[in-house]
Amino acid sequence: MKTKAARICAIAFAAYLILGALFYLVAGDSLRSTESLGDSVANKSTTGELHQGDVLMQKFVCEYDELTQIQLLVGTNARKNNDVLTVKLFDENGEEELFSIEKSTADLQDNNWMTVNEFEPIDDAKDRVFVLRIESKEGKAKNAISFYCGNTVDTGRFSIKTQVENTEGVALYDSGSQKESILADEEKTPYRLCMKVGGTDYHLVGQYFWLIYGIVAILFLLYLIRQVICHRKGKKTLTLSIVASFSKYNFLIRQLVARDFKTKYKRSVLGMFWSFLNPLLTMSIQYVVFSTFFKSDIPNFIIYLLCGIICFNFFNEATSMCLMSILGNSSLINKVYVPKYIYPFSRTLSSCVNLLLSLVPLLIMLIITGTFVSPAALLLPFPLIMLFLLSYGVGLILATMMVFFRDTQFLWNIFSMLLMYLTPIFYPDTIIPAYFMPIYRLNPLYHVIEFIREILMYKQAPEPSAYLWCTVLCVIPFLIGALVFRKNEDKFVLNL
């Protein structure tokens, strides 16, 4: 046993070193920096044709560490216009010119975005106020473009007023007007330009990854050494007790998982094929409803929908099975001693079998839709592990509540339905009003599903905050569930 404990610790430490290096290899770029493009106000009006000598100006605040591009929504009246625009960027006071670019309008398309990125990235741009100045050099009537503007943010089903300090209003100066300052407020409209600001955010995690990796490695190694020493001295620790329990009851866990799996499909004609068919049929129905009747414009909606369905189905199934795990095994609990957390664990593990089978239809749909898997898909185990911890933690809480309060199953059915509608499974999170998003983001399933979509649909590793949100919001319910279950497990026998 002493040799076995040392070997297990050595394997755990080697796994940490290898997985940490592989993680940086796959996700290193996203850990160092993230390129983003902000949102725009909804198109509501136009500034009118920009003629020769006309000047259009807009203040805006940069949300990124480095400013890399600006996009403006333009209208061409469905014609080819031959004009040259002078695009300049100033600091807040209008004293320093940061760049000056000339843009031809000949290739611009109607109701499309004009991208300005032919400048050196501007450092230290975070929370700085800039002034964008656009002047027409050759625009004439019926041979000039216009710019779109508005004062609301379109969220799909809602429109909310913009509330961005120092960015309201578009200053439009008529031809030939002379102004001493580019910040003059004459003829300012109540609208803002339909403008997207793009930039790069730099993350300290990526810059100091190897330092953090090394410190954690040393702490982990010291912890493992302590476990080996305690084991050799015959002292018990929580980690050693858990490992010993799972090792001792490994056979029982396998039997419980096999029993749950066989019972689920007992006397079923298709049997385990329902694990494939369930997500596909659910996806088909919701796809028809939301793409046809509600006109969903989400890109690659099939994959978007399937990712949400698979994750929520696993969570719902695992928690519902855990809910009955103690009552359903009351005969065993009253006769044979087995650590009681084994029962909800085996139920969650049996749901994992269905989860893995459900990933096969997802892979098939990725191939059919031409959404090829990228190296970022190697990060998929992380959100799945977080989803397992979340489901197991909530399952422990439900299993405990069910012993003392038998109405828990009915309340959970209602709550799980509410949770389904509060999770962006078949709708985009952009329909949620901005003021409600901080509360909405407390839903752990939201972050797990978005993490999976990021690596499968957009083929890129998420930024560091995504790992943090997933870990915190999934581990906390797990720890709470373990604490609640442990404090009440000795009372279960009296209430079974």
C-alpha span between 182 and 258 (Å, rounded): 74
Tokens of 478: 């797990």
The pair of structure tokens assigned to 348 is: 């969650």
Give the pLDDT confidence score for residue 171 in this predicted structure.
Answer: 66
Which alpha helices (DSSP H) does 324-443 contain, by range? Answer: 325-328, 330-335, 342-368, 381-404, 408-421, 437-440
Q: Please tell me the least confidently modeled range out of 92-106, 214-228, 464-478.
A: 92-106
State residue 179's pLDDT score.
38
Please, are residues 149 and 170 in contact by the beta-carbon 8 Å criterion?
yes
pLDDT in tens, 57-84: 888 989 999 999 999 999 998 888 888 9
Flag the least confident range among 104-108, 135-139, 330-334, 421-425. Answer: 330-334
Work out the pLDDT band at 152, boundaries 50, 70, 90. Answer: confident
Please write the tens of the pLDDT for every residue from 400-420.
999 998 888 899 999 999 998
Say if residue 54's pLDDT is above 90. Answer: no
Tell me the one-letter amino acid at 12.
A
pLDDT score recorded for residue 274: 64
Beta strands in 127-213 (DSSP E): 129-136, 146-150, 152-154, 159-161, 170-173, 188-189, 192-193, 195-202
Tokens standing for residue 267: 């006397």
- Return the pLDDT at 231: 83
292 three-state secondary structure: helix
Residue 312's closest CA among 475, 144, 440, 444?
444
Residue 105 half-sphere exposure toward CB, CA atoms < 13 A: 33
Q: pTM here? A: 0.81
Q: How far apart are the first and last CA of the chain?
A: 36
- Residue 268 confidence class, pLDDT cut points 50, 70, 90: low
> In this model, does residue 111 exceed pLDDT 80?
yes
Contact criterion met (CB below 8 Å) for 276 and 360: yes
Q: Does the pLDDT of residue 92 top 90, yes or no?
A: no
pLDDT at 117: 92
Residues listed for the chain: 496
Token pair in block for residue 382: 């992380």
Residue 183: predicted pLDDT: 40
What are the strands, taking DSSP E only, across 183-287?
188-189, 192-193, 195-202
Query: How many whole angstroms separate alpha carbon 165 and alpha carbon 162?
Result: 9
In this prediction, residues 294-299 reach a mean pLDDT of 67
Looking up tokens 């100045």 gives 133
> Which of 219-228, 230-239, 273-282, 365-374 has the weakest average pLDDT?
273-282
Residue 62 structure tokens: 């940069």
Give dist(CA 479, CA 375) in Å, integer. Answer: 32
Stretch 40-57: mean pLDDT, rounded?
Answer: 85
Tell me if 5 sits within 8 A of 227, measured CB to CB: yes
Which residues lie below 8 Å from residue 492, measured CB to CB, with a gap of 6+?
A: 326, 333, 340, 403
Cα 129–Cα 130–Cα 134 angle in degrees, nearest 5? 155
As a whole number of angstroms, the distance between CA 326 and CA 317 comes to 16
| Tokens, residue 1 | 């046993």
Q: Is the pLDDT of residue 41 over 80?
A: yes
Residue 88, pLDDT score: 93
- pLDDT of 162 over the 60 cut: no
> Is it the case that residue 157 has pLDDT exceeding 60?
no
CB atoms within 10 A of CB 422: 15
Distances (CA, A) of 449 to 305, 306, 415, 420, 470: 10, 10, 19, 12, 10
With H, G, I as helix, E, B as strand and everything else as coil, classify residue 424: coil
Separation of alpha carbons 310 and 302, rounded Å: 12
Instruction: Fill in the amino acid letter for 210.
Output: W
* Nearby residues of 343 by Cβ (< 8 Å), 6 or more positions away: 256, 325, 326, 328, 329, 333, 399
Question: Residue 387: its pLDDT value, please?
Answer: 96
Higher-confidence residue of 478 and 361: namely: 478
Percent of the chain scored above 90 by pLDDT?
Answer: 37
Phi-psi group of 136: left, alpha or beta (phi > 0 → left; psi -120 to 50 → alpha; rest → beta)? beta
CB 120 within 8 A of CB 51: no
- Residues above pLDDT 70, as percent of the chain: 85
Confidence of residue 286 (pLDDT cuts 50, 70, 90): low
Identify whether the C-beta of residue 446 lies closer than 8 Å to the C-beta of residue 307: no
Question: 229-259 pLDDT, tens per residue?
Answer: 888 888 878 888 888 888 888 888 888 888 8
Whether 294 and 431 have beta carbons less than 8 Å apart is answered as no
Q: State the chain's mean pLDDT as an integer.
A: 84
Residue 263 confidence class, pLDDT cut points 50, 70, 90: confident
Contact criterion met (CB below 8 Å) for 321 and 257: no
